[in-house]
Amino acid sequence: MSVVIRGIVAVVFGTVVGGMILAAVEALGHRVYPPPPGMNPNDPESIRAAMAQLPMGALLFVLLAWAAGAVGGGWLAALIARRARVRLALLVGALLLAGGVFTLIQIPHPLWFQVVGVLVFLPAAYLGARVATGGGKG
Using 50, 70 and 90 to split pLDDT, how confident is the model at 36?
confident
78-109 pLDDT, tens per residue? 999 989 999 999 999 999 999 999 999 988 89
pLDDT at residue 137 above 70? no
pTM of the shown model: 0.92
Using 50, 70 and 90 to split pLDDT, how confident is the model at 136?
low
In angstroms, rounded to a whole number, what is the distance separating the alpha carbons of residues 134 and 101? Answer: 30
For position 41, what pLDDT does the model report?
82
Q: Do 120 and 70 contact (CB within 8 A), yes or no?
A: yes
For position 134, what pLDDT does the model report?
87
In angstroms, rounded to a whole number, what is the distance separating the alpha carbons of residues 131 and 138? Answer: 11
In angstroms, rounded to a whole number, what is the distance separating the alpha carbons of residues 109 and 63? Answer: 12
For position 104, what pLDDT does the model report?
94
pLDDT at residue 135 above 80? no
For position 52, what pLDDT does the model report?
84
Q: What is the dihedral of CA 111, 65, 102, 83, to 10 degrees?
A: 120
